[in-house]
Amino acid sequence: MKELEIVFEQLPAGELTRFIGDSLDAHNLAATGVAAFYPVGLFLRSGPGECLGGLIGSVWGGWLHVRFSGWRRAARGGGNGTRLLAAAEDYARERGCFAATLETHSFQARPFYEKNGYSVFGSLEDYPPGHTKFFLRKTLAPAPAVS
């Protein structure tokens, strides 16, 4: 095979992103036999529909992965973040998940997640320099028995 050209695209088109994701999904399915995948998108909206925050993630392989969560200052306090996280965890449990995982940085929301039952299982120092990236997990239900 002729050597392939590597091309940098800072903002790849949607179809390229989907192609890479679909290729990885096909590999994961072939390697594990686990096909059930569910996107997670939950949002905080004001009466007229203005988005004040949200949580983006996915459910696959018995795990909820929270990829992004955040909300505007106006939506902070009052339990909105806890409600979003609980809604994502409920959605995941309904789809057979037994655990959840997420990442946060030392300048972000580690105490919030720990207050909501998550515990640190790993860290990456100096990401970015002077800060730490934390990897957290939470048990949602008993893990299935492996036979």
Tokens of 110: 């580690």
- Asked whether residue 10 is domain-assigned, the answer is no
* Residue 21, Cβ density class (10 Å: 0-12 exposed, 13-18 middle, ≥19 buried): exposed
Number of domains, the chain: 1
Does residue 147 lie in a domain region?
no
Residue 123 within any structural domain of the chain: yes
Give the whole-angstrom CA distance, residue 59 versus residue 144: 16
Domain membership flag for residue 5: no
The answer to whether residue 88 sits within a structural domain is yes
Whether the predicted model's global pTM rises above the 0.85 cut: yes
Structure confidence at residue 78 (pLDDT): 82
What 8-state DSSP symbol labels residue 27?
Answer: H
Residue 24 lies in a domain: no
Which pLDDT belongs to residue 66? 97
Rounded Cα gap, residues 127 and 114, in angstroms:
20
pLDDT of residue 1: 82
Q: Domain of 71: which CATH number?
A: 3.40.630.30
Using the predicted structure, report yes or no on whether residue 125 has a pLDDT greater than 90. yes
Please name every residue paired with 123 in a beta bridge, in sequence order, or none if there are none: 134
The pLDDT tens digits for 65-81 are 999 988 877 777 788 89
The reported pLDDT for the residue numbered 21 is 86
Return mean pLDDT, the chain: 92
pLDDT for the residue numbered 117: 98
Question: Is the C-alpha dihedral spanning 80, 84, 85, 87 positive or negative?
Answer: positive
- Provide φ and ψ at 14, rounded to 5°: -55, -40
The maximal CA–CA distance of the chain, rounded, in angstroms, is 60
Question: Is 53 inside a domain boundary?
Answer: yes
Better-scored residue on pLDDT, 69 or 139: 139
Q: Convert the pLDDT of each residue in 19-69 to its tens digit.
A: 998 898 889 989 999 999 999 999 988 877 788 889 999 999 999 999 998
Domain of residue 93 covers 37-139
Cα 5 to Cα 2, 64, 142, distances in angstroms:
9, 36, 47
Share of the chain above pLDDT 90, in %: 69
Answer yes or no: is 118 within a domain.
yes
